[in-house]
Amino acid sequence: QVQLVESGGGLVQAGGSLRLSCAASGRTFSPYYMGWFRQAPGKERELVVRIRYSGGPTYYTDSVKGRFTISRDNAKNTVYLQMDSLKPEDTAVYYCAAKSTLARPNYDYWGQGTQVTVSS
């Protein structure tokens, strides 16, 4: 079983930065995609950014392009989300998730979430 543990959330002023980490543990970890999702109060969970674990193009939702950067350290089984120029509308619970194969319709593994709050 794979476990994902997020860290790095917190309270920051608008314009500030945070870096989230997602550490994977458990059996041999080699997913197809790693993604960061977020869910704001009263809103549906949305995919923010996705990366192929083996390398290749990444996907960013339009609202974070140019501000957020995803990276990975495969040796540490860790994925990072660098968030710069944060805005109040970025306030949400951020979740790390892994999709084991391209064919699977949904992400298989989820972290517990970490709160990001951006004050104006």
Quick one: pLDDT at residue 49?
A: 96
- How far apart, in whole angstroms, are the C-alpha atoms of residue 114 and residue 96? 9
Decide the pairing of beta strands 2-7 and 18-26. Answer: antiparallel
Cβ atoms of 58 and 72 closer than 8 Å: no
Quick one: pLDDT at residue 3?
A: 93
Examine the pLDDT at 94 and tell me if it is beyond 80: yes
Decide the pairing of beta strands 114-119 and 10-13. Answer: parallel
Q: CA distances (Å), 65 to each of 24, 48, 70, in order?
A: 25, 9, 11
pLDDT band at 86 (very low <50, low <70, confident <90, very high): very high
**What average pLDDT does this structure show over 63-79?**
94
pLDDT band at 57 (very low <50, low <70, confident <90, very high): confident
- How far apart, in whole angstroms, are the C-alpha atoms of residue 58 and residue 8? 21
Mean pLDDT score of the chain, rounded to an integer? 93
pLDDT tens string 37-54:
999 999 999 999 999 988
Quick one: pLDDT at residue 118?
A: 98
**What average pLDDT does this structure show over 79-88?**
97
DSSP string, 15-62: T--EEEEEEEEES----SEEEEEEE-TTS--EEEEEEETTS--EEE-G
